[in-house]
Chains A and B, each alone.
Chain A
Amino acid sequence: MASSTLLIPPRHYLNDGYGIKSWLLTRDHKRIALLYLAGVTLFFFVGGAMAVLIRIDLATPPGDLVTDETYNKLFTMHGVMMVFFFLIPAIPAVLGNFLVPIMIGAKDLAFPKLNLFSWYIYIVGGLFTLYALVSGGVDTGWTFYTPFSTVASTTNVIPTALGIFITGFSSILTGLNFIVTIHRMRAPGMTWFRMPLFLWSIYATSLINVLGTPVIAITVLLVAAERIFHFGFFDPRVGGDPVLFQHLFWFYSHPAVYIMVLPAMGVVSELVAAGCRKPVFGYPFVAFASLGIAVLGFLVWGHHMFVAGESVYSALIFSILSFLVAIPSAVKVFNWTATMFKGAVSWETPMLYAYGFIGLFTIGGLTGLFLATVAVDVHVTDTYFVIAHFHYIMVGGTIMGYLGGVHYWWPKISGRLYNEALAKISAGIIFIGFNLTFFPQFVLGYLGMPRRYHAYPPDFQVLNVLSSAGASILGVGYLIPMIYLMWSLRYGRLAGSNPWGAVGLEWTTTSPPPTENFAETPLVTWDAYDCHAPSESHVA
């Protein structure tokens, strides 16, 4: 570990202005990142609470904890909260906001006021949706399939749809901000191919945000319009096609899963490079794989509709394209593994999360190929197999990447070190709890247990109990980091500029950084991950 001459600067972004106004009216991307951290954590708790109730109900075969209608509302809110208000914003809005300007050597994002506005939009959208939750809930599933959502459901579809519509603009504007920043505000010498791979992932994610989110925006607007004005876009009674909703919905919602996983992959690239003291193997391949995932991810949405009523020929096309999109993901996994080969592999907490990501994402990704095979999908679609598949990616992948990133950059963000022993233990608890929760679900799905049902045949109880037990362990695992991270803010050891001895512009500035990030605009003459790069700032 590198030592540092200056442990904590007298003036930095956290003490540059006190009081609630200095936070709620800030233009500093670092403070906005922390505002987002508060928001995503809140919504994670709401979504998590839904999950707790679901798993308790599923511990016994009859649906006896809540009524059928309430159960529908539980899994709907779990999905809506987790997808739109946690997984999609978490890494880009928290880690991306904090790191993008620093990693390219800029003072802030291109549009700081727009950045703050994006946060307000996110919070307003979230509050709309929370209102829908507490005033009765929604029972359509997070997928809002028509005609149930437009005609038959008697629940709060409209406020939820509007909440998602509003929050979508937060994603769009954040993506716009990142794209312009990366194109136009790189420091002198910071060429595209000298950027850390995290930035390539964020850039690819931002492309998806900008190209895909508008389509979900118009789609939820159409659902709301159909409910309010009785338009007939998806209504068979006037000749509309409910499957058209699914086309529009999944055109966004499939790339959305890449919005969720690409930033986590970017984090993993950084963690693996730092943890193995080696440049990431095959940098250009990993960079282009990010773009490849973003592009190909837009061509596969029909694989969610194999049994919904799309034609056999279009199913075939989407199936083939879905196999193609696995390739760039696999390239990344191979390259991370090659980076670890003959590297000085470390076992510090962020790296534990990175290794967990690589393994669990591989399982999730491979099971995606099962689902992309039309003949297999006919058997396992809408079963717990699908649920296990996407939770391996979203939780085993994205959340692990998120936690790994939070731990890795925590010293930079807070200036403090957390308790490493507790952190390692938590990572282990999370890994065990996660697998115990979701691996049995692959088996359950294969055996035929449908998703979104809370009553099931007694034969499935053992696997469900294992899953619920795992969920309680996972819950504990998530709570512990919140405690020791908060504790470290006050009592943690001071971190210094570069506690990991890693390479990157963020490690050349102080921990915490000053408001303007750098005392002088850096001049970059080294490649990403080049260990001959300056590792500490010599200008306070």
Chain B
Amino acid sequence: MSAHILPKRIYYTIYGILILCTFLTVQIAFFDLGPLNTIAAIGIAILKATLVILYFMHVKYSSRLTAAVVAGSVFWLAILVALTMTDYLTRAWRTFG
């Protein structure tokens, strides 16, 4: 495996973006955007996680197998959540009580 030695400034740049996103997500939480609040919060979290995966964990510079493994895990979690929610979102008797 050839070493992918990134210049340190890439790490510092990603770090800066991550801290900025953290600040942003906290600020957004104080505004009432209805359902957009949740979407924004999850979206920013996904962005942060993606940056950590691609750059800190070097997936951008790794093999396709590594990328497939990462994508597979996310996809499988999505199956668990989505198919479970097909039950909860379609129950005629809504919540338990």
Contact = CB atoms under 8 A, between A and B. Distances in A.
Are chains A and B touching in the complex at the 8 Å CB cutoff?
yes
Interface of A: 183, 211, 215, 236, 239-241, 243-244, 247, 251, 298-299, 301-302, 310-314, 317-318
Interface stretch (B12-20, B27-35, B51-59, B89-97): B89-97
State the majority secondary structure of interface residues on B. Answer: helix
B96 A240 contact: yes
Interface centre among B72, B79, B83, B87 (most CB of A within 10 A): B87
A105 B72 CA distance: 28
Contacts of B92: 311
B79 A314 contact: no
A251 B65 contact: no
B82 to A, nearest CB: 10
Contacts of A240: 96
A244 B83 CA distance: 12
B90 A183 contact: no
B56 to A, nearest CB: 23
A298 B90 contact: no
Contacts of B90: 311-314
Contact of B95 (A239, A310, A314): A239
Given A311-B90, A311-B91, A211 B97 contact: no
Given A215-B80, A311-B91, A241 B96 contact: yes
B84 interface: yes
B2 interface: no
5 contacts: A251-B84, A302-B87, A310-B87, A311-B91, A317-B83
Interface in B63-88: 65, 72-73, 76, 79-80, 83-84, 86-88
Given A311-B91, A313-B90, A247 B76 contact: no
Contacts of A314: 83, 86-87, 90
A302 B97 contact: no
A251 B97 contact: no
A239 B83 contact: no
B86 A239 contact: no
B96 A236 contact: yes
A313 B86 contact: yes
A298 B96 contact: no
Minimum-distance CB pairs A-B, first 9 = A314-B87, A313-B90, A311-B90, A314-B86, A310-B87, A311-B91, A247-B84, A211-B76, A311-B87
Given A236-B96, A241-B96, A312-B90, 4 more contacts: A239-B95, A247-B84, A251-B84, A311-B91
A183 B76 contact: no
Given A247-B84, A311-B92, A239 B97 contact: yes
Contacts of A310: 87, 91
A299 B95 contact: no
B94 to A, nearest CB: 11
Interface in B25-56: none
B86 A317 contact: yes
A298 B72 CA distance: 13
Among A301, A311, A312: residue with most chain B CB under 10 A: A311
B96 to A, nearest CB: 5
Contact of A299 (B73, B83, B91): B83
B96 A239 contact: yes
A298 B86 contact: no
Contacts of A312: 90
B87 A298 contact: no
B84 A236 contact: no
B33 to A, nearest CB: 27
Contacts of A241: 96
B79 A299 contact: yes
